[in-house]
């Protein structure tokens, strides 16, 4: 098992203060980064193989290299919206080690030449935002932010922005609109944010965990970082395990660890006497896997090959005491609530899926509805500006595909239950 990187000494008292962070070697990577040319920094990030930890898994170095050269105002935005159900890793990173993130943002801003940067944190994380705010004040006082940082001639203004409760603002262009003070509606892409992002300027957007890994990559060098993990999934990953497990929480693992070791070894598996019915490998938006898939290696490519995705690294375990219809209803209800309403397939598709699943529950559905539901999911995927609709269609579609029998049994049981209720009045 490799050493901890992001979680190194995470429970050390006072790590959220600049003194303790510096004592543990903090802000040394920043000094090292300032001694390197921009191009070499970006090359280091690319060579490290670091893939975005927010969900899409795109190479961070490549994303940074898309930012055009030139004198225009550029921005770095850290996505700390973390609203994907099941995900809570960024919360722990921000709360316990905010300076690691700040250092990562400064290095990324320096690499792409951004002099104004933002951390967009979801409004619900009020305590974490206060901690981060205090850390930003400390960093400013210590000269890590502001003008001519550490004598490098590089200026950076880093601001914290608190969101107000909208899942869609975790989508990068929705986040940018929200940051610009609008409703958080996603934008048509292209142009991608790297070309035309915040206030129309080139913008690099990365997740908290991605940016928190940057100081470690600079510190240990790209080669050594790339040696951790497996091919095309390098480094360590925080996994948030929740649902029906004995020890829910965040665990830092080497990518490529068997899934069984994470769910049973680290998180303790389902409660005694229960079996795993299904599990979401990457947040509630990922297609579900079953107990048969537990021996798969937990990395980007294996999860994709298994028909799902690693996403944000949030594993939600559902045991056999739960009904899949309830799980599907929760999902559909959530996405219907959070759909911004801009694209018709998503707005109507999520709403009707929710309505159709509630018909199953109240006994007015027929088995044919399952086919209609599956076809609705096909109509959503790929037909919207962003992937919110897909994020419902994929898991709900996979639940129907993998647990069709259970859906049919539930439809029939609910139908009979309703019939008895209706007939009760007649027979009395």
Partner 1 sequence: MSDPDLDLLPEFHTSVQRFDKGSRIPGWDRAADLDKDPAEVPDPADTEVPAELRAEIEAEMARFPDIHSAAIPALFAVQRRDGWCTPEGIRQAACVMGVTPAYLTSVATFYDMLNTEPCGPRQVYVCTNISCSLCGADELLGLLQEELQGNEEVHLRGFECLGACDIAPMVSVDGVYVGPVPFDEVPELARQIAAGEDPLPARQLVKRPSADPKVSGSAATNPEGSDA
According to CB under 8 A, which residues from 61 to 100 bind partner 1?
Answer: 73, 82-88, 90-92, 95-96
Tokens of 407: 């859906």
- d(CA 244, CA 237) in angstroms, rounded, equals 21
Dihedral in degrees, nearest 10, Cα atoms 9, 46, 200, 197: -60
Which CB sits closer to partner 1, 68 or 165? 165
Q: Which residue has the tokens 């940016």?
A: 211
Q: Which stretch binds partner 1 (CB under 8 A): 33-41, 51-59, 139-147, 241-249?
A: 241-249
Task: Name 309's Cβ contacts closer than 8 Å, sequence gap at least 6.
Answer: 55, 57, 281, 282, 286, 287, 300, 303
End-to-end Cα distance, the chain: 68
Of the candidate residues 132, 156, 208, 266, the single one contacting partner 1 (CB under 8 A): 266
> Interface with partner 1 includes 203 (CB under 8 A)?
no
CB of 167 to partner 1, least distance (A): 6
Beta bridge partners of 161: 120
The H-assigned helical ranges of 142-221 are 172-179, 208-220
Region near partner 1 per CB under 8 A, out of 18-26, 57-65, 242-250, 290-298 = 242-250
Token readout for 272 is 């005694």
DSSP annotation string for 352-411: HHHHHHHHHHHT---THHHHHHHHHHHHHTT-SSSSHHHHHHHHHHHHHHHSHHHHHHHH
* Closest CB 335 distance from partner 1, rounded Å: 10
Extended beta strands in 154-296, E state: 157-162, 203-207, 229-230, 233-234, 236-243, 249-254, 257-258, 276-280, 289-290
Spell out where 235-288 has E strands. 236-243, 249-254, 257-258, 276-280
Of residues 163 and 269, the one with the C-beta less far from partner 1: 163
Nearer to partner 1, 22 or 351 (CB): 351
User: Binding residue for partner 1 (CB under 8 A) from 247, 305, 417, 420?
Assistant: 247
**How many CB atoms neighbour CB 227 within 10 A?**
13
Cβ 214 to partner 1, closest distance in Å? 21
In angstroms, give the least distance from the CB of 388 to partner 1: 13
- Sites for partner 1 among residues 305-344 (CB under 8 A): 314, 316, 318-319, 322, 326-327, 330-331, 334, 337-338, 340
338-377 binders of partner 1 (CB under 8 A): 338, 340, 351, 355, 358-359, 362, 364
How near is the Cβ of 239 to partner 1 at its closest, in Å?
10
Residue 13-52 contact track with partner 1, rule CB under 8 A, x = bound: ----------------------------------------
Out of 206, 207, 244, 308, the only residue in the binding site for partner 1 (CB under 8 A) is: 244
The pair of structure tokens assigned to 87 is 């995900």
Give least dist CB 68 to partner 1, A: 19
Minimal distance, residue 115 CB to partner 1, in Å: 11
Cβ-based nearer residue to partner 1, 221 or 268: 268
Contacts of partner 1 in 103-162 (CB under 8 A) = 116, 122-127, 159, 161-162
If the CB atoms of residues 50 and 318 are measured against partner 1, the closer one turns out to be: 318
| Cβ-based neighbours of 416, under 8 Å, separated by 6 or more | 363
- Closest to partner 1 by CB, 210 vs 244, is 244
* Residue 122 CB, nearest approach to partner 1 (Å): 7
**CB-wise, 188 or 426, nearer to partner 1?**
426
Residue 62: phi, psi to the nearest 5?
Answer: -65, -45
Shortest distance, CB of residue 323 to partner 1, whole angstroms? 11
253/380 with CB nearer partner 1: 253
Restricting to residues 153-182, which ones interact with partner 1 according to CB under 8 A?
159, 161-167, 178-182
Helix (H) or strand (E) holding 416: helix 404-427
**Residues 171, 84: contact at Cβ < 8 Å?**
no
The CA distance from 209 to 181, in Å, is 25
Which structure tokens are listed for 226? 């790339």
């Amino acid at each position: 098992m490799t050493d901890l990187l992001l979680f190194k000494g995470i429970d050390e008292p006072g790590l959220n203060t600049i003194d303790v962070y510096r004592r543990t070697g903090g802000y040394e990577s920043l000094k090292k980064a300032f001694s390197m040319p921009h191009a070499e920094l970006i090359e280091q990030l690319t060579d490290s193989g670091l893939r975005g930890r927010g969900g899409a898994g795109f190479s961070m170095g490549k994303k940074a290299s898309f930012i055009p050269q030139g004198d225009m105002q550029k921005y770095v935005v850290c996505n700390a919206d973390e609203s994907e159900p099941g995900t809570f890793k960024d919360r722990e990173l921000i709360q316990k080690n905010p300076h690691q993130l700040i250092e990562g943002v400064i290095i990324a801003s320096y690499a792409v030449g951004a002099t104004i940067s933002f951390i967009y944190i979801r409004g619900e994380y009020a305590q974490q935002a206060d901690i981060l705010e205090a850390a930003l004040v400390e960093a400013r006082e210590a000269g890590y932010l502001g003008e001519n940082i550490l004598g490098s001639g590089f200026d950076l203004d880093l601001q914290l922005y608190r969101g107000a409760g909208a899942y869609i603002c975790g989508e990068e262009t929705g986040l940018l609109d929200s940051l610009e003070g609008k409703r958080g509606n996603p934008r048509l892409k292209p142009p991608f944010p790297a070309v035309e992002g915040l206030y129309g300027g080139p913008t690099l957007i990365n997740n908290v965990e991605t940016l928190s890994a940057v100081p470690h990559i600079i510190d240990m060098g790209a080669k050594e970082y790339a040696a951790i993990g497996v091919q095309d999934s390098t480094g360590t990953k925080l996994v948030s395990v929740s649902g029906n497990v004995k020890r829910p929480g965040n665990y830092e693992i080497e990518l490529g660890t068997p899934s069984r070791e994470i769910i049973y070894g680290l998180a303790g598996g389902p409660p005694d006497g229960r079996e795993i019915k299904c599990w979401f490998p990457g947040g509630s938006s990922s297609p579900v896997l079953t107990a048969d898939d537990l021996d798969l290696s937990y990395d980007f490519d294996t999860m994709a090959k298994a028909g799902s995705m690693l996403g944000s690294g949030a594993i939600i375990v559902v045991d056999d005491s739960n009904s899949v219809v309830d799980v599907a209803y929760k999902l559909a209800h959530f996405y219907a609530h959070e759909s911004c309403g801009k694209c018709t397939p998503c707005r109507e598709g999520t709403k009707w899926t929710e309505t159709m699943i509630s018909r199953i529950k109240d006994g007015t559905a027929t088995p044919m509805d399952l086919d209609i539901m599956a076809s609705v999911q096909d109509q959503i995927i790929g037909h919207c500006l962003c992937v919110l609709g897909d994020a419902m269609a994929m898991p709900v579609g996979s639940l129907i595909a993998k647990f069709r029998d259970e859906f049919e049994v539930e439809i029939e049981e609910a139908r009979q239950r309703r019939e008895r209720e209706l007939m009760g009045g007649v027979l009395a």
